[in-house]
């Protein structure tokens, strides 16, 4: 799996990684038996993913590129703020209305094409 480091603590050798599958974040902690690179915010890393007690853990990290996205945490933070402001200013902009039609056996009802299935 590939990912970008969103947070790191060099003194404790811990990191939080945003994974390429956009699933839950992966957590990394270097142990005495597991030597790995020092990870910094924005580093692009490749790692093995293990799920332990419903938590995704990164193991065997390899640095692919140092500092490729150092501003990613701030960009994500501000993107969420902008979306929230837009939704608060215009609540209708956050909803997408999709019309549904009832299947009655007719080909078209209320301007929406409906396929009738045999019972």
Average pLDDT, stretch 96-113? Answer: 56
| pTM of the full structure | 0.64
**pLDDT above 60 for 112:** no
Longest dimension (CA), the chain: 70
Contact by Cβ (8 Å): 36, 10? no
Q: What is the pLDDT of residue 19?
A: 95
Strand partners of residue 45: 3, 63
Q: What is the pLDDT of residue 42?
A: 94
Q: What is the pLDDT of residue 40?
A: 93
In order of their start, the domains of the chain are 2-65 (2.40.50.140)
Exposed (0-12), middle (13-18) or buried (19+): which is 26, by Cβ within 10 Å? buried
Residue 24: pLDDT band (50, 70, 90) is: very high
Q: Average pLDDT over the chain, rounded to whole?
A: 79
What distances in angstroms separate CA 42 from CA 2, 51, 65, one per listed residue? 13, 23, 9
**pLDDT above 80 for 103:** no
pLDDT tens, residue by residue, 33-88: 667 788 999 999 999 999 999 999 999 999 999 999 888 888 887 876 666 666 66
Residue 119: pLDDT band (50, 70, 90) is: very low
């Amino acid at each position: 799996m590939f990912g970008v480091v969103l947070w790191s603590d060099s003194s404790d050798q811990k990191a939080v990684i945003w994974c390429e599958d956009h699933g839950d974040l992966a957590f990394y902690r270097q142990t005495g038996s597991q030597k790995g690179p020092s990870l910094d915010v924005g580093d692009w890393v490749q790692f093995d993913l293990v799920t332990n007690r419903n938590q995704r853990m990164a193991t065997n990290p390899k640095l692919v590129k140092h500092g490729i996205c150092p501003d990613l945490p701030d960009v994500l933070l501000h993107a969420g703020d902008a979306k929230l402001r837009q939704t608060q200013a215009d609540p209708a902009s956050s909803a997408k209305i999709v019309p549904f039609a009832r299947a009655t056996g007719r080909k078209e009802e209320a301007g929406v094409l409906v396929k009738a299935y045999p019972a």
